[in-house]
């Protein structure tokens, strides 16, 4: 159970609330909103409602690969307003390799970290590990 406003940080896969935690959740399985708990259900009542949710882990997905992609996404989301190419250059310390990653994985180098789905972070991570 978390604050309802925070749920978007876990469930979204694009936009300003999307981030590394959401990347990890979606690479491991899926998230399911179960129900809303109103503020009046507590004493003293907080100023916000809460959301109860479940994360359903898919046993067929590699946790090792998901965690590697999560760590990569954490670095690339540090400067979320920079392009993915600039973030990759900062992360890899190699502009040629950053360009090659974008080109070979068909990633628009002008896109922002929040515009890339979790599967792209997994693909980048796997590409860099090989």
Hey, where are the domains in the chain? 2-57, 63-129
Residue 109 contacts residue 84 (beta carbons within 8 Å): yes
Tell me if the pTM is above 0.85.
yes
| Angle at alpha carbon of residue 117, lines to 114 and 123, rounded to 5° | 120
> In this predicted structure, what is the pLDDT of residue 88?
96
Residue 65 contacts residue 58 (beta carbons within 8 Å): no
Give per-residue pLDDT as tens, 92-103. Answer: 999 999 999 999
Average pLDDT, the chain: 95
Q: Is the pLDDT of residue 130 over 90?
A: no
CATH (one of 1.10.3720.10, 1.10.8.100, 3.40.50.12160, 3.10.300.10) for 63-129 = 1.10.8.100
């Amino acid at each position: 159970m978390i604050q309802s406003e925070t749920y978007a940080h876990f469930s979204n896969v694009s936009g300003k609330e999307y981030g590394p935690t959401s990347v990890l959740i979606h690479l491991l399985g899926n998230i399911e909103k179960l129900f809303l708990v109103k503020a009046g259900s507590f004493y003293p009542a907080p100023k916000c409602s809460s959301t109860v949710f479940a994360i359903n882990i898919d046993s067929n997905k590699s946790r090792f690969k998901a965690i590697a992609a999560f760590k990569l996404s954490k670095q690339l989301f540090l400067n979320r307003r920079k392009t993915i190419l600039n973030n990759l250059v900062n992360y890899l310390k190699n502009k040629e390799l950053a360009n090659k990653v974008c080109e070979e994985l068909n990633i628009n180098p002008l896109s922002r970290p929040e515009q890339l789905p979790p599967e792209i972070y997994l693909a980048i991570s796997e590409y860099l590990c090989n």
